[in-house]
């Protein structure tokens, strides 16, 4: 009899709820860690430690499907029980060795690129969770019995019990402060799995005593040798090992970026959500293993799966692509502004994953039922190789890339490649798969439709920080500046995006090579007969690499770059010239220079009252230099006089962007390195009194505004409120620019 939709639903929905609750564990633990002391360190340590544990325990994950297919009677169940516990004991011993060995934390640091504080705490996480490999084979054995009996509701009940206990522990004990947050989270998961295992053991033994229907197929029963077990499970183990290796590999990739702690913490936040939202689609694997018995069953399951994928993708998009995202990230998880803005690009990719994962799960389940598991192993190996090769290449080329975005994109791309390989194998197994694959093709088409606008919205977002806007006091609150910085007045800003770093030499070079034009400095040099050695953007007269901020660019050069970048990415340019004047359309979606108000809002970390972008004191944060300023490094080589006495930032001239700590919003370089062009005209007078909404400067004036300190400037320029300006056609060795975009 052909499979019916109702049968699929009755079997699938308890497994779906189970997968959802199983993957809820990590976000719940992250929810607690976000409220602990040093949340970034705790999140990163748990992400690294738990990621390694998932990798080490992954050979045990296919036991559920293996027992469901091979445990056909008492003899086969007995052999599978013994062999599963043997595997679990070996893995437990290895985890204890890693957790207790003196060099374990150093090994973790080398593998994952983690800081000493994170790797030491990750070793403790591994120790606390080392009993889990002994529990997983027992739980898997009874899970498979429930699936063969087609009573998947028992699995849901056991998972709910584990989740309730885990939540009670993490939120009940976190406030006492006796254990680090990461260790407490690991303890809650271990105790939860122990409780779950005891529950399923009790229920499973009752089923065996009563010889529940569907469990035994005595005509197929017989001993299961290590060789027979290995022939079926080894490719599946390879698949789960490589899948589990994805998170450590991605952590190793992004850990080699410019800010490893922020990258690993950001990906550690996004990854559990990606798994949580896509986890209901995992259940199609077990559903296909048990329910697909006849030729006509697979098309029915594919049609049911395609509808389910679309429903889940739409639901996830409501979280990831709407204001609800900010409500949850800022409200529920209480992330710092820097971490909250960092995870947004990664979150926006999550709605694409269900289509890939659902199609892959159905395909793998059918291949397992046919006992053709080799292609699953090969496809997973190719996926991991692809992710590693592409990931390390990208991080070497772009060390400042957003780790949460890169990690999520690598995972989805790798899963897509694996799914394509397995679908090709599925077509060979069953020649008449065109009707069955029609829903999968529809899902792929919808995926492409969603992917195009998403990538259009997220291009270059790894370097753009979303700022919420709001009200703040603009001007010199410390009464240290001149009249141009007064009066202090209320400003209301709309949401906008600001570049995490200044525009670099390499980025500006791409613009010049594409347009074939000359900058203002080059044009003036040619017209005036100046020497070819005169300073310009590619030869400022001091050492620079492609990652340094570009200098010797005029305000007009910066405007031209903004329009070029906008057109290159398919955005509507903001700037146009009319009657010799440059006009800006702030409603356009293209790149532009920030206004003075936007720059000051970002430099003050969202409107806080502070003297400098790093704070009110000396330019030191956490014992490290906070900005590239005119200090003893510059004086030693004769680059500039030392205005900041007793301070050494290690850079005589400009420094690579991102070399110093970001402010609370995740933006680098606002306090030093180079001054930055802004949009506003300056007429030498102060601000207008009274409140202002999205101010854009004076109606006319001889100068364009420059903001921020620089590698050769006086200390006064590094104040948040300090204003200065230059003629728009002038250039300077200490002036560059960064990009902004409106959010409308």
What pLDDT does residue 596 have?
96
Q: Which residue has the tokens 């027979």?
A: 228
581-584 vs 735-736, strand pairing mode = unpaired
What pLDDT does residue 436 have?
46
Task: Give the DSSP H or E segment for 28.
Answer: helix 5-33
- Asked if the model's pLDDT at residue 462 lies above 50, the reply is no
Instruction: Place 437 in a pLDDT band, splitting at 50, 70 and 90.
Output: very low
Query: Distance (Å, rounded) from C-alpha 465 to C-alpha 573?
Result: 19
Report the number of secondary-structure helices (H) and strands (E) in the chain: 24, 15
**What is the tens place of the pLDDT at every residue in 161-212?**
888 888 888 777 665 556 777 888 888 888 989 999 999 999 999 888 888 8
- Region at 658 (left for phi over 0; alpha for psi -120 to 50; beta for the rest): left
Query: Distance (Å, rounded) from C-alpha 361 to C-alpha 364?
Result: 5
Instruction: Place 245 in a pLDDT band, splitting at 50, 70 and 90.
Output: confident
**What is the tens place of the pLDDT at every residue in 103-125?**
777 787 777 666 777 888 888 88
Within 543-631, residue ranges assigned H as helices are 555-568, 596-603
Assess contact for 385 and 378: CB atoms under 8 A: no
Query: Distance (Å, rounded) from C-alpha 584 to C-alpha 562?
Result: 11
Query: Distance (Å, rounded) from C-alpha 412 to C-alpha 415?
Result: 5
- Asked if the model's pLDDT at residue 559 lies above 90, the reply is yes
Query: Distance (Å, rounded) from C-alpha 390 to C-alpha 444?
Result: 23
Lowest mean pLDDT among 165-179, 228-242, 425-439, 467-481: 425-439
Assess contact for 184 and 173: CB atoms under 8 A: yes
**DSSP-assigned letters across all residues of 398-455:** -TTS-HHHHHHHHHHHHHHHHHHHHHHHHHHH-S--HHHHHHHHHHHHHHHHHHHHHH
Lowest mean pLDDT among 24-33, 401-410, 543-552: 24-33
Q: What is the mean pLDDT of residues 355-364?
A: 88
Comparing C-alpha atoms, which of 320, 742, 343 is closest to residue 571?
Answer: 742
Assess contact for 390 and 246: CB atoms under 8 A: no
The pTM score is: 0.52
- Asked if the model's pLDDT at residue 428 lies above 60, the reply is no
What pLDDT does residue 178 have?
64
**Structure token digits, residue 729:** 């056609």
Assess contact for 594 and 738: CB atoms under 8 A: yes
At 321 the three-state DSSP class reads coil
Secondary-structure percent of the chain, ordered helix, strand, coil, rounded to 5: 60, 10, 35
Comparing C-alpha atoms, which of 454, 229, 417, 150 is closest to residue 320?
Answer: 454
At 744 the three-state DSSP class reads coil
What pLDDT does residue 335 have?
67
Instruction: Place 453 in a pLDDT band, splitting at 50, 70 and 90.
Output: very low
Look at 294 and 353; give whichever has higher pLDDT.
353
* C-alpha distance from residue 580 to each of 48, 520, 583, 605, 712 (Å): 57, 16, 10, 36, 33
Q: What is the mean pLDDT of residues 478-503?
A: 92
Q: What is the mean pLDDT of residues 491-498?
A: 92
Query: Domains, the chain, ranges and CATH?
Result: 5-457 (no CATH), 467-742 (3.90.1580.10)
Count the neighbouring beta carbons within 10 Å of the beta carbon of residue 78: 13
- Asked if the model's pLDDT at residue 502 lies above 90, the reply is yes
- Asked if the model's pLDDT at residue 444 lies above 70, the reply is no
Query: Distance (Å, rounded) from C-alpha 36 to C-alpha 185?
Result: 11
Look at 732 and 622; give whichever has higher pLDDT.
732
Look at 287 and 91; give whichever has higher pLDDT.
91
Strand partners, 741: 497, 591
Q: What is the mean pLDDT of residues 687-695?
A: 85
Q: What is the mean pLDDT of residues 408-426?
A: 87
- Asked if the model's pLDDT at residue 6 lies above 90, the reply is no
**DSSP-assigned letters across all residues of 363-410:** HHHHHHHTT--HHHHHHHHHHHHHHHHHHHHHHHH-TTS-HHHHHHHH
* 692-693 β-sheet, strand order: 470-474, 489-493, 692-693
Comparing C-alpha atoms, which of 727, 721, 643, 706 is closest to residue 483?
Answer: 721
What pLDDT does residue 155 have?
86
Look at 561 and 435; give whichever has higher pLDDT.
561
At 662 the three-state DSSP class reads coil
Instruction: Place 703 in a pLDDT band, splitting at 50, 70 and 90.
Output: very high
**Structure token digits, residue 280:** 């209901």
DSSP state of 726: E
Angle at alpha carbon of residue 32, lines to 26 and 34, rounded to 5°: 100
What pLDDT does residue 530 have?
59
Assess contact for 361 and 423: CB atoms under 8 A: no
**Structure token digits, residue 402:** 């957003």
At 257 the three-state DSSP class reads coil
Give percent above pLDDT 90 in the chain: 28
Query: Distance (Å, rounded) from C-alpha 273 to C-alpha 31?
Result: 11
- Region at 444 (left for phi over 0; alpha for psi -120 to 50; beta for the rest): alpha
Lowest mean pLDDT among 21-30, 95-104, 697-706: 21-30
For CA atoms 336, 337, 342, 346, give the dihedral sign: positive
What pLDDT does residue 447 have?
47
Average model confidence (pLDDT) across the chain: 83
R_g of the chain, CA atoms, integer Å: 29
**What is the tens place of the pLDDT at every residue in 131-150?**
999 999 999 999 988 888 87
Within 628-735, residue ranges assigned H as helices are 632-636
Query: Distance (Å, rounded) from C-alpha 77 to C-alpha 91?
Result: 21
Query: Distance (Å, rounded) from C-alpha 504 to C-alpha 550?
Result: 5
**Structure token digits, residue 592:** 């532009």
What pLDDT does residue 26 have?
73
Cβ partners under 8 Å of residue 709, min gap 6: 627, 629, 671, 672, 673, 675, 715, 717, 718
Q: What is the mean pLDDT of residues 307-336?
A: 77
Assess contact for 652 and 673: CB atoms under 8 A: no
Is the bond preceding residue 712 a cis peptide, omega within 30 degrees? Answer: no
**Structure token digits, residue 140:** 């898997």
Count the neighbouring beta carbons within 10 Å of the beta carbon of residue 650: 13
Query: Distance (Å, rounded) from C-alpha 406 to C-alpha 394?
Result: 9
- Residues in the chain, how many? 744
Instruction: Place 450 in a pLDDT band, splitting at 50, 70 and 90.
Output: very low
**Structure token digits, residue 32:** 């607690």
- Asked if the model's pLDDT at residue 600 lies above 90, the reply is yes
Assess contact for 714 and 672: CB atoms under 8 A: no
Q: What is the mean pLDDT of residues 287-298?
A: 78
What pLDDT does residue 338 have?
61
Give percent above pLDDT 70 in the chain: 89
**DSSP-assigned letters across all residues of 107-170:** HHHHHH---HHHHHHHHHHHHHTTTHHHHHHHHHHHHHHHHHTT-THHHHHHHHHHHHHHHHHH
Cβ partners under 8 Å of residue 14, min gap 6: 152, 153, 155, 156
Environment class of 202 (CB within 10 Å of its CB; exposed 0-12, middle 13-18, buried 19+): exposed
Cβ partners under 8 Å of residue 507, min gap 6: 550
Instruction: Place 452 in a pLDDT band, splitting at 50, 70 and 90.
Output: very low
Look at 472 and 324; give whichever has higher pLDDT.
472
Q: Which residue has the tokens 């909404």?
A: 693
């Amino acid at each position: 009899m052909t499979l019916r939709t109702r049968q699929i639903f009755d079997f699938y929905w308890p497994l779906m709820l189970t997968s959802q609750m199983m993957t809820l564990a990590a976000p719940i633990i992250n929810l607690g860690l976000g409220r602990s002391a040093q949340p970034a360190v705790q999140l990163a340590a748990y992400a690294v430690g738990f990621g390694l544990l998932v990798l080490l325990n992954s050979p045990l994950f296919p036991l559920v499907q293996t027992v469901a297919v091979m445990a056909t009677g008492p003899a086969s169940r007995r052999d599978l029980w013994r062999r599963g516990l043997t595997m679990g004991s070996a893995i437990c011993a290895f985890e204890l060795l890693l957790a207790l060995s003196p060099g374990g934390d150093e090994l973790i640091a080398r593998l994952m690129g983690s800081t000493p504080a994170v790797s030491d705490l990750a070793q403790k996480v591994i120790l606390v969770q080392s009993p889990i490999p002994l529990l997983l084979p027992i739980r898997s054995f009874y899970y498979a019995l429930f699936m063969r009996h087609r009573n998947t509701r028992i699995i849901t009940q056991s998972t709910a019990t584990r989740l309730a206990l885990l939540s009670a522990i993490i939120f009940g004990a976190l406030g006492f402060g006796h254990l680090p947050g990461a260790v407490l989270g690991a303890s809650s998961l271990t105790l939860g799995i122990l409780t779950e295992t005891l529950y399923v053991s009790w229920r499973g033994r009752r089923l065996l005593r009563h010889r529940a229907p569907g469990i035994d197929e005595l005509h197929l029963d017989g001993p299961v040798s290590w060789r027979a077990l290995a022939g079926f499970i080894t490719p599946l183990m390879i698949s789960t090992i490589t899948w589990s290796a994805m998170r450590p590999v991605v952590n190793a990739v992004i850990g080699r970026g410019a800010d490893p702690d922020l990258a690993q913490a950001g990906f550690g936040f996004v990854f559990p959500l990606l798994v949580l939202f896509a986890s209901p689609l995992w259940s199609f694997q077990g559903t296909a293993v048990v329910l697909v018995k006849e030729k006509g069953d697979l098309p029915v399951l594919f049609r049911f799966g395609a509808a389910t994928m679309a429903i889940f993708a739409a639901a996830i998009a409501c979280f990831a692509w709407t204001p609800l995202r900010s409500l949850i990230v800022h409200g529920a998880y209480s992330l710092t502004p820097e971490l909250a803005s960092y995870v947004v690009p990664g979150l926006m990719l999550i709605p694409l994953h269900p289509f890939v994962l659902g199609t892959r799960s159905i395909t793998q389940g059918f291949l397992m039922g046919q006992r053709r598991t080799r292609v699953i192993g090969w496809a997973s190996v190719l996926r991991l190789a692809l992710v590693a090769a592409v990931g390390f290449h990208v991080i070497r080329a772009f060390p400042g890339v957003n780790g949460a975005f890169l990690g999520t994109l690598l995972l989805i791309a790798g899963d897509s490649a694996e799914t394509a390989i397995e679908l090709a194998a599925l077509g060979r197994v069953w020649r008449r798969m065109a009707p069955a694959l029609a829903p999968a093709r529809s899902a792929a088409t919808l995926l492409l439709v969603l992917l195009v606008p998403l990538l259009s919205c997220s291009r270059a977002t790894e370097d753009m920080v979303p700022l919420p806007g709001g009200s703040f006091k603009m001007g010199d609150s410390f009464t240290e500046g001149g009249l141009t910085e007064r009066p202090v007045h209320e400003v209301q800003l709309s949401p906008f995006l600001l570049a995490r770093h200044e525009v670099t030499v390499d980025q500006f070079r791409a613009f010049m090579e594409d347009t074939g034009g000359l900058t203002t400095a080059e044009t003036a040099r040619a017209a005036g007969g100046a020497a070819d050695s005169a300073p310009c953007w590619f030869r400022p007269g001091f050492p620079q690499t492609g990652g340094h901020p570009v200098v010797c660019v005029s305000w007009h050069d910066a405007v031209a770059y903004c329009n070029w970048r906008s057109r290159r990415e398919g955005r509507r340019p903001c700037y146009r010239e009319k009657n010799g004047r440059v006009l800006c359309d702030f409603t356009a979606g293209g790149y532009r220079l920030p206004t003075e108000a936007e720059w000051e809002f970002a430099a003050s970390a969202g409107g806080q009252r502070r003297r400098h972008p790093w704070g009110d004191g000396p330019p030191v944060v956490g014992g490290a230099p906070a900005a590239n300023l005119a200090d003893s490094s510059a004086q030693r080589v004769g680059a500039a006089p030392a205005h900041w006495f007793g301070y050494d930032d290690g850079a005589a001239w400009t420094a690579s962007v991102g070399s110093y700590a970001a402010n609370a919003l995740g933006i680098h370089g606002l306090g030093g390195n180079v001054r930055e062009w802004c949009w506003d005209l300056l007429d030498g007078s102060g601000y207008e009194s009274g409140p202002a909404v999205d101010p854009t400067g004076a109606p006319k004036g001889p100068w364009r505004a420059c903001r921020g300190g620089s590698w050769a400037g006086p200390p006064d320029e590094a104040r948040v409120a300090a204003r200065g300006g230059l003629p728009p056609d002038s250039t300077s060795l200490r002036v560059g620019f960064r990009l902004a975009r409106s959010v409308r």
